[in-house]
Chains A and B, each alone.
Chain A
C-alpha cells in the first residue's frame, strides 16, 4: 500500500503550505502565461527564496511596477478595448492582475484572508481555459492536494496524518460527487460569452464548397471531427457516408450549393428502404452550421433543420461540442421529385468547356438510352481511363478541369473524381450533383464507437435515376493508388494505429460521459433506465460497490497509525486478545501480558512462541529478518488458532 515514510519527518509551516497550494493551482495557468509574465513570476520566486524577512515597502512597490511592466508587455498589441472583447483575453488579464497582487502580498510574509482565498480564485480561473481529459485528471488531483494542504494547516503541518485525514474526507465525498454529477439537473446553454466574441477556428475538411485547386478538400489531419456511438454494431465501411452538403453549381475552380434564392418547395421524401440504425454523435466545434448524418437520414435531429436534400443544419454556428441522437436508413438511394430550378441546376453544364469529356459523354448518351445504363457506362469509362488516386495531383487546367483530369493528368483524389463524374454525367443527360461530407472507415471503430477525422472528408456523386438520387462512389473508379497516398491513408504501424484507437475510445467514453455530459445524456440515461429495469439494478449495485470501496479505503486510513515495527506485527494479535477480554494494563510489560493470558490458557503454546520471539527481538539483540519472519508467522498462526 501507499508508503508515507518520506513524509514522516516533514512539518510544513503555514507559509510553506500556502506556497505549495499556489504552485499547484498556478501550474496549469503557466501554460497560458506570456513570457514577460513568466519572467516576472520567476523573479518573484527568486526574491521569496532569497529574502526570508518581510520585504521593505520600496521592494513591494518595485515588484508592483515590474508586474505592471510584465503585464503590459504580455498583452502588448491586444491590450485595447477591442482586444478585451475576447473573453479569454479578459480572463488572462485577470490572472495577470491576480498574480501581481498575490506576489506583493506574499512578499510581506503575512498570511491574510485574501492570500488564503486566492488559490481558489486561480483554480476557478484555470477552469475557463482547459476542458480536456488531462485537466479533468489534474483538477481531481488538485482538489485532493488542496484539501491535504488545508488539513495539514489544521493539523500543525503533520503531512502524514493530514494525508490520511484528507484521504478519508476525499473518499467520503466521492460517492456524493458521482451521484450529484449524474443527477444534478442541467440546462444545456450555449457557452455564455457575456458579449465577448468567440474565437473562430477556421480549419475544416468540409466547409460547404468544394475547390478543385490548391484549396481542395484535403486536410490530412487526425483531428477528430466527430465521434459516433452506434446503438448496435458499426455498419460496414461502404455504408459510412456522413452527409454534409449538396453542390450543384460548377464555378470552374469550385462547386457551390444552390443559390439561396432557389427554394425547393416539394415535400421531404424520407428514405423508406434500407437497414435502420440509431446512433449518437458528438460533433466538435466546426464554426459551421452543418451537422453530419449518416446516409440517408430518416428523421430530423431535435433542434436542427433537415432540408429536401437531407442536409441538416442548426441555427447558429457550432462553437461548442454538440451532442445529438439520430436515425438513418443505410440506403444509397433517395426518392425525389425534381422541381424546375433543381432540374436545371443539376443538368447545367458549359458545353464550351471540357470538349473531350463532352464528346465521350455524347457517345455514351447516344449508345445508351436508359439513365442507369448510361451511369454504368460512365463508371466503366472512368475505370478505363487508368485514373490514379493521388493526394498530391498535378495542377489542373482550371477552365477544363474534367478534360484535364480525365485525359491529361489522370491524377487526383475524391474532389477531382466527383467533379469530373458529375460534369460528364450531366453532359450524358443524367441530372447529377456532388455530395460532400465524411466517409468513415470501420477500421477506426472499436465496439460500437467510431471516430471520424478530418482526413475522412470526402466527396461523391449522386445521379438522378428513375426519380431517385443514387449514390455513386466515384473515387472507387480509380485503377491505382500512388505510394504516397497509400502510405498516408494506411499509416505505418498497425499496432500503433490500434493502440491509438483504443486510447481514442477511452477518451471518447470519458468525454461523452464526463466532460460533455449534458442534459441530453441525462435524459437518455433516464429513458434507458425506464426501458431497462435491469440497468437500474446494475446502476444501484455499481453505486453500492463504489460506496463500499470508498468506505473500505476510509476505514484503512482511519485506523490508528502503527509506528513501532514490532508492535505493528503484534497489533492483530493484541486486538484479538483484547476482544477476548485481555487488555494490556498500564505499566504491564508485553511479557507479563502474555504470561497473564497463558495462565488462563496454558495449552496455547503459540502465544508462548510469540512471547519468545518478541523478547528475542526486543531485548535479545536479534532483530534479523529471519527472526522477524518467525514472529510474523507465529502471530499469523496465533490468529488462526
Chain B
C-alpha cells in the first residue's frame, strides 16, 4: 500500500513523452497483430503480447528509475557576466535500487549520467554563461531518462530554483599597470634588506644596476619599507562608463584577492574596505550596482 502511495506521488512528478521508438512499437504491434490474425499463429500472438506487456511495463519501471531521484543546487563558484561558469547540482538516489541512464538538462545543455547507485549521490556541474551582471536565477532544469526501452521519454522537473549573483565581467587595465601609476606604493624606505627578482612592478629607482651588469635584473628591498596603508580604487576614475568601471573594479578586486593586497573601494555612496568586508560582499556590491 505504501509503495503504491509512493508510486502515485512519483507518478505525479513525472511527465511522459513518446519517442520515435514508441512509434516503432505501435507499428510492430500492428504488424504482429495482422500476422497473428490473418494466419492464426499463436506464436505470433505470444510475441505480440510480450511486446505489448514489455512496452506497457516499461512505463512504471522507467518512472521508478527516475522518480526516486532528488536534485538540489549546491553553492556554485563565482559567476561572472559573459564568462562560462558552473552550477553544481547534486543528484541523490534515495531508493534501494540503482538508477540508470539519466540525463540532466537545462535549456541549452545536457549532461549524461550512466548510473547512480542506491543511497548515493552524484554532483553534476552544469555550464552556464550569464549574459548580465546582477541577480541571477537559474531554473527550468530537469532530469530525463529513456530507461528502459527508449519508448518513453520521462521528464522530472527540478522544482528548486537557484538564486545567486553574477558579478561584473572582470576586464580592463591589469592591477600592475594601475600600481605603477601609484607613486606611494612602496612607502618610506628605511634599511636595505637584500635583493629580489624584478617583476616589472617595482620602481625604476629600486633597480639594482650592478646585477643588471651581470645579466640579472634585481631590485633592492628595504626591511623597514612601509607600504601605503591601502590601495584605493575610485569608482569614477576607474573607467569612463559605469559597466566598464564595474568590470575594471571587479578585475582589480580579484587581483588584490589573489595577491592578498588590502584595498579600499570608493563607490559613489559608500566606501568598501577589504579589511572589513569579504571579497564576495565587495563583488556582490559591484554586481548589484
Contacts and interface: CB of A to CB of B under 8 A. Distances in A.
Nearest to A153: B150
B98 A180 contact: no
B43 A127 contact: yes
A131 B43 contact: yes
Given A173-B54, A191-B40, A140 B46 contact: yes
A97 B96 CA distance: 48
Contacts of B54: 143, 147, 169-170, 173
A147 B57 CA distance: 12
Contacts of A190: 40
Given A173-B53, A181-B45, A560-B118, A117 B98 contact: no
B276 to A, nearest CB: 38
B42 A517 contact: yes
Interface in A65-123: 113, 117, 120, 123
Nearest to B55: A173
B165 interface: no
Interface string B32-61: 100101111111111101111110111011
Contacts of A181: 42, 45-46, 49
A154 B49 contact: no
B52 A161 contact: no
Most central of A123, A173, A184 by chain B CB within 10 Å:
A173
A139 B43 contact: yes
12 contacts: A124-B44, A150-B150, A155-B114, A156-B115, A169-B54, A172-B57, A172-B61, A173-B53, A173-B54, A176-B52, A180-B52, A560-B98
A124 B100 contact: no
A169 B49 contact: no
A258 to B, nearest CB: 35
- Give the interface size bracket for A toward B: 35 or more
A155 B56 contact: no
B18 interface: no
B148 interface: yes
Interface of A: 113, 117, 120, 123-124, 127-128, 130-131, 135-136, 139-140, 143, 147, 150-151, 154-156, 161, 165, 168-170, 172-174, 176-177, 180-181, 184, 186-192, 320, 514-518, 558-560
Contact of A515 (B42, B47, B115): B42
Interface string B91-120: 000001110110000000000001100100
Contacts, number: 123
B179 interface: no
A144 to B, nearest CB: 9
B31 interface: yes
B24 interface: yes
A161 B100 CA distance: 10
Given A124-B31, A136-B43, A192 B148 contact: no
B150 A189 contact: no
Contacts of A184: 45, 49
Given A161-B98, A173-B57, A192 B50 contact: no
B149 interface: yes
A130 B42 CA distance: 11
B118 to A, nearest CB: 5
Nearest to B61: A169
A143 B52 CA distance: 12
Contact of A136 (B31, B39, B46): B46
Closest 4 CB pairs of A and B: A173-B53, A192-B38, A176-B53, A172-B57
Given A172-B61, A518-B40, A560-B96, A127 B53 contact: no
B147 interface: yes
Contacts of B52: 176, 180
Given A123-B47, A155-B101, A186-B40, 14 more contacts: A127-B43, A128-B39, A139-B43, A139-B46, A140-B50, A143-B47, A150-B150, A151-B149, A154-B150, A169-B148, A176-B53, A181-B42, A184-B45, A516-B42
A139 B100 contact: no
Contact of B40 (A156, A177, A188): A188
Given A165-B148, A516-B42, A560-B97, A189 B53 contact: no
A515 B61 contact: no
Given A127-B35, A560-B96, A176 B43 contact: no
Contact of A189 (B40, B43, B61, B149): B40
Contacts of A117: 24
Nearest to A151: B148
A139 B44 CA distance: 9
Contacts of B100: 154-155, 161, 165
Contacts of A147: 54
Interface residues of B, number: 41
Contacts of B43: 127, 130-131, 135-136, 139, 515
Interface of B: 20, 24, 28, 31-32, 35, 37-47, 49-54, 56-58, 60-61, 96-98, 100-101, 114-115, 118, 146-150
A180 B148 contact: no
A152 to B, nearest CB: 11
Most central of A130, A184, A320 by chain B CB within 10 Å:
A184
A320 B49 contact: no
A151 B53 CA distance: 16
Contacts of B46: 136, 139-140, 177, 181, 514
A192 B36 CA distance: 10
Given A127-B47, A139-B43, A173 B56 contact: yes
Contacts of A517: 42
Nearest to A117: B24
Nearest to A158: B115
Contacts of A135: 43
Contact of A169 (B37, B38, B57, B97): B57
B57 A154 contact: no
B50 A177 contact: yes
A18 to B, nearest CB: 14
Contact of A177 (B49, B58, B101, B147): B49
A476 B134 CA distance: 110
A135 B149 CA distance: 25
A124 B37 contact: no
A517 to B, nearest CB: 6
Contacts of B114: 155-156
A560 B57 CA distance: 20
A190 B42 CA distance: 13
Contacts of A120: 24, 28
A111 B267 CA distance: 61
Contacts of A170: 54
Given A155-B115, A180-B52, A514 B42 contact: yes
A186 B36 CA distance: 10
Contacts of B146: 154
A514 B46 CA distance: 9
B27 to A, nearest CB: 9
A191 B97 contact: no
A187 B37 contact: yes
A143 B50 contact: yes
A156 B101 CA distance: 8
A525 B31 CA distance: 28
A176 B115 contact: no
A34 B222 CA distance: 97
A510 to B, nearest CB: 10
Nearest to A559: B96
Contacts of A130: 43
Nearest to A180: B49
Given A154-B146, A176-B49, A187-B37, A168 B101 contact: no
A169 B41 contact: no
Contacts of B42: 131, 181, 514-517
A558 B53 contact: no
Contacts of A168: 61
A177 B44 contact: no
A124 B147 contact: no
A168 B60 CA distance: 12
A127 B98 contact: no
